[in-house]
Structure 1
Amino acid sequence: MKPLVAIVGRPNVGKSTFFNRMIGERVAIVEDMPGTTRDRLYGDTDWNGREFTLIDTGGLELGSGIPVGQVGLTGQPGDLMDHVMSQAQLAIEEADVIIFMVDARSGITAADDEVADLLRRSTKPVVVAANKADNAERRLDVVEFYGLGLGEPTDISSIQGTGTGDLLDRIVEALPPASEMEEEEDENIPRIAIVGRPNVGKSSLLNAVLGFKRSIVSNVPGTTRDAIDTEVEFGEQKIKLIDTAGIRRRGRIGVGVEKYSVLRSTRAIERCDVALLLIDASEGLAAQDTHIAGIIHEMGKGVIVIVNKWDIAQEQIRAEREGIYPDPDDEIQSAESYRKALMGALKFIPYAPIIFASAKTGYHIKSILETALKISDMRYLRVPTSRLNEVVQEAVRRHHPAAVTAMKPLRVYYATQTRVNPPTFVFFVNDPRSVHFSYERYLENRLREAFSFYGTGIRIFFRARSSKEER
């Protein structure tokens, strides 16, 4: 797991500008107006060999959605200090290191004092970053921030980039040792994450597996806020189940706790071996379902698409037929048509099995666990190099790679498997730039056909063979 570094501060101190500079791209919207950042944003970066996840916590908005900088001008109710403290508390609970960003131009404000008071009582490392120190005079004024009682402030300019290297040095020094960030997981225990949009039945599925109420179950979306790990035995096999909060589209992520819930869900996918992607059968596939499936695919995880609440969907079908119970074969036909529609929408994960289930009635719960364990085993499959190259050479003979414009024709020399979980293969070629994405997909499909990589993502990399090897 990568350590988490949260940027905390009142509105318009330059958190998003700093975030964008560290991530290396303009991800956060930056405007000279308090409350511009409405969504939680995060991205991975590294410094001096240490990778970590950086979070832009946004503009400390009120629950009403009105930027705190406008409170008092609009006459809307709300307690600024209570809100500042609640937001800071969230960052403290989640982060390994906290960047407390202040404005070198305006000096210490009442809001800064409130957050600093909370941070002083925490056990988390805090680094004070005095932003907008754009000239020598402002850099001298930074000494004022010693008064926050959080140690030496570091003067930076997010726009100019000055001082950011010193700040990153301090962040890396404060990070937990890399050995502490490595989860001591037993490789023999498969980790299965239950993910999906809010209110699709994730906690209900966990409870159905466990046979008792381990998680709060409610029809109010967003009940589960933390990723909850539960160990359970299935037959003679131990399984670690990770129940997560619902993942919403970024534009619909609310302030406060829910912003961090989305991050926890995404990190749960990162931690797991197999993700159970729940879809509400009564609502059908939503755009956010496809987005979550994309996250799972990009991380190379195993995946099962679970069409939950299938009993409700069947009741709806019967109701549409005016209470007339259809022929028993009709349920099979409706499931097959539903399956085809899902496969068409999720064509980038054609390897994912689809299971129709009901957490409420227990329908197909056992099948879900059995399938998840098969996929987990498949992720540790090692393919003999000789057999791998037989399959690769046969694939090349069947479909020779076409020449890419302005590139030399692709030649595939040999391939090798470099790791498992997920299965990872390296193809040595004359020029990796000549590999068209369609040919990469073709080779992946051939590997799946030959070695039955059922339900799991696999990774393929292309490397140039050295001139010495070519000779």
Structure 2
Amino acid sequence: MNEFIMPIIALVGRPNVGKSTLFNLLTRSRDSLVADYPGVTRDRQYGFGKIGPCPYWVVDTGGMLRDVERLDNAVDQQARLAVAECDAVFFLVDAKEGLQADDYAIVEYLRQQNKPFYLLINKIDTGDRDLLMAEFYALGIEQTHGVSAAHKKGVNPLMELVLSDFASDYKPNDEIRPKRLNLTVIGRPNAGKSTLINRFLGENRVIASEVAGTTRDSIAIPFTYDDQDYTLVDTAGVRRKSRVDAHIEKISVIKTLQAIEQANVVLLMLDAHEGIGDLDAHLLGVAVDAGKALVVAVNKWDHMNDYEKFKRKDELARKLHFIDYVQIHYISALHGTGIRDVLKSVCTAHAASFADLSTNQLTTHLQALVHKHQPALVSGYSVKMRYAHQGGKNPPIIVIHGSRLSHLQASYLRYLEKGMREKFGLYGTPIRFQLKESSNPFTH
């Protein structure tokens, strides 16, 4: 069986046809992780999705052909780059606005790219479906589908169709802990990623330079330390769009995302002087959504005075609260300070992501947590959690069976997650819950 590589789907079309709405639906995004901040995701926003038979990356773009007289404008160019790096294109049009001259131009461009593309007629819920779709058949696109991104109509069967060719190599929730640990190092340019890897290796295998962005592609290097085999992956730094000029730099984001997808553990490198930025938070969010084990290393710590260290730690505690289960190390990659502890945390996170959890232990501790703190009542009735078992690994999946589980508040699930993490030592890895409600035989 071939190695599964997640397909990339690009969303293109004129401005305001619903691309961002579809992006949020396909990625089930949370605003804190995919905010519209200035930077590379302003024009090309990347997200991880799981609707359909296999996971995928989806790329949102700014509207194409904003200025017909200037086809080389920056936003249009970003959309073209997204098409160049993707495996399939979703071309969105607006059913309410009808067929526009720009739609013909975009179709002509897409036909020249030799990429499979699908015409999505969005907002079909605004009137008679057949009537709204009729004029778009003039574009002569075989794969034409009516959808409503805002109301989640027509998207699931579309994803089943689009992903069917990619899903044959996909094995969900791999139960086998790999002997060789794939450690992917991510972060902004000049954070010290290459220097850290060279320190791990004990030699200058990766070019390290004070010039930001020396690494232009993901580099994989085999490495053994303390009887553990690793593959170290040094990724190109992800920089703000205002600093991106060359074409090879513009496609580094998707290469970083692909490296995250193939990782067993993701190590985020931060520059102590710069702290954590929006791009760092976005990459962390992608890694969490992909279920990856995580470690954070704050580099150049030896250059900070005591007051600067205090302020930086306080900032990281606030901005990284959503991954409070991840170990943060303060290191000097140049001098080797603290890097042994980084590798220990990497191994701990890796082991936690493949932990074996017995049904008896999970159920016993679930009942103990419920006894200590009962969930809120639902219309005067209590939520019942009867038993729990492990539903998968990498990351750990805990399946809870009971009644009225859909009414559990997010805060209570966080309470359960913290309790399970402390009991079973699941540090460094996300935990997923699946809630299975038992049917009531008296309702039929």
State TM-score, norm by structure 2. 0.72
1:153-192 equivalences under 5 Å are: 172=161, 176-180=165-169, 187-192=178-183
Partner of 2:394: 421
- Please give the secondary structure, in 2, of the residue aligned with 1:421: coil
Given the alignment of the two structures, is residue 377 of structure 1 paired with residue 357 of structure 2, yes or no? no
1:335-414 equivalences under 5 Å are: 339=313, 342-397=316-371, 399-404=372-377, 406=379, 408-414=381-387
Aligned letter for 2:274? Answer: E
Contact 2:292 2:429 in 1 (8 A): yes
More off after superposition, 184-193 vs 342-351: 184-193
1:306 CA displacement: 0.7
- Please give the secondary structure, in 2, of the residue aligned with 1:17: coil
Percent identity between matched residues is 29
- Please give the secondary structure, in 2, of the residue aligned with 1:190: strand
1:11-410 equivalences under 5 Å are: 13-14=13-14, 17=17, 19-20=19-20, 22-23=22-23, 39-43=43-47, 49=53, 52-59=56-63, 69=68, 71=70, 80=72, 88=80, 91-92=83-84, 94-98=85-89, 105-106=100-101, 119=113, 125-127=115-117, 129=119, 139-140=137-138, 142=139, 172=161, 176-180=165-169, 187-247=178-238, 260-313=251-304, 317=305, 339=313, 342-397=316-371, 399-404=372-377, 406=379, 408-410=381-383
Contact 2:62 2:75 in 1 (8 A): no
Partner of 1:325: none
1:389 CA displacement: 2.0
**CA, structure 1 residues 215+95, in 2 after alignment: closer, same or farther (shift >3 Å)?**
farther
Given the alignment of the two structures, is residue 464 of structure 1 paired with residue 402 of structure 2, yes or no? no
Contact 2:121 2:146 in 1 (8 A): yes
**CA, structure 1 residues 171+287, in 2 after alignment: closer, same or farther (shift >3 Å)?**
closer
Contact 1:90 1:256 in 2 (8 A): no
Aligned letter for 2:359? Answer: T
Name the structure, 1 or 2, with higher relative contact order (CA <8 Å, separation 6+). 2
Contact 1:97 1:126 in 2 (8 A): yes
Partner of 2:36: none
Aligned letter for 1:369? Answer: L
Aligned letter for 1:451? Answer: F
Instruction: Answer with 1 or 2: which has the greater Rg.
Output: 1
Deviations 1:382-435 (A, max 9, x none): 1222122222222222x2314346362222211111111111111222211332
1:16 CA displacement: 5.9
1:437 CA displacement: 2.3
- Please give the secondary structure, in 2, of the residue aligned with 1:284: coil
Contact 1:23 1:45 in 2 (8 A): no
Contact 1:4 1:97 in 2 (8 A): yes
1:87 CA displacement: 6.6
**Partners in 1 of 2:400 and 2:409 — Cα distance?**
13
**Partners in 1 of 2:286 and 2:149 — Cα distance?**
33
- Please give the secondary structure, in 1, of the residue aligned with 2:194: helix
Aligned letter for 1:452? Answer: G
Partner of 2:127: none
Aligned letter for 1:3? Answer: P
Contact 2:10 2:88 in 1 (8 A): yes
**Partners in 1 of 2:374 and 2:100 — Cα distance?**
59
Aligned letter for 1:359? Answer: A
**Partners in 2 of 1:401 and 1:435 — Cα distance?**
11
Partner of 2:6: 2
**CA, structure 1 residues 299+173, in 2 after alignment: closer, same or farther (shift >3 Å)?**
closer
- Please give the secondary structure, in 2, of the residue aligned with 1:383: coil
**Partners in 1 of 2:251 and 2:436 — Cα distance?**
38
Unpaired segments of 5 or more residues in structure 2? Answer: 28-40, 123-130
Aligned letter for 1:342? Answer: L
**Partners in 2 of 1:459 and 1:246 — Cα distance?**
29
Aligned letter for 1:377? Answer: A
1:452 CA displacement: 1.3
- Please give the secondary structure, in 1, of the residue aligned with 2:268: strand
Aligned letter for 1:441? Answer: R
| Paired residue total | 409
Aligned letter for 2:360? Answer: S
**Partners in 1 of 2:389 and 2:291 — Cα distance?**
18
**CA, structure 1 residues 191+48, in 2 after alignment: closer, same or farther (shift >3 Å)?**
closer
Aligned letter for 1:435? Answer: L
Aligned letter for 1:229? Answer: A
Contact 2:90 2:120 in 1 (8 A): no
Deviations 1:416-470 (A, max 9, x none): 111111111112222113322222222222212221112222122322133369x
**CA, structure 1 residues 294+80, in 2 after alignment: closer, same or farther (shift >3 Å)?**
closer
1:308 CA displacement: 0.6
Deviations 1:134-164 (A, max 9, x none): 6766644x36xxxxxxxx6666788999xx9
**Partners in 2 of 1:260 and 1:467 — Cα distance?**
52
- Please give the secondary structure, in 2, of the residue aligned with 1:348: helix
Aligned letter for 1:277? Answer: L
Contact 2:271 2:298 in 1 (8 A): yes
State TM-score, norm by structure 1. 0.68
Given the alignment of the two structures, is residue 451 of structure 1 paired with residue 443 of structure 2, yes or no? no
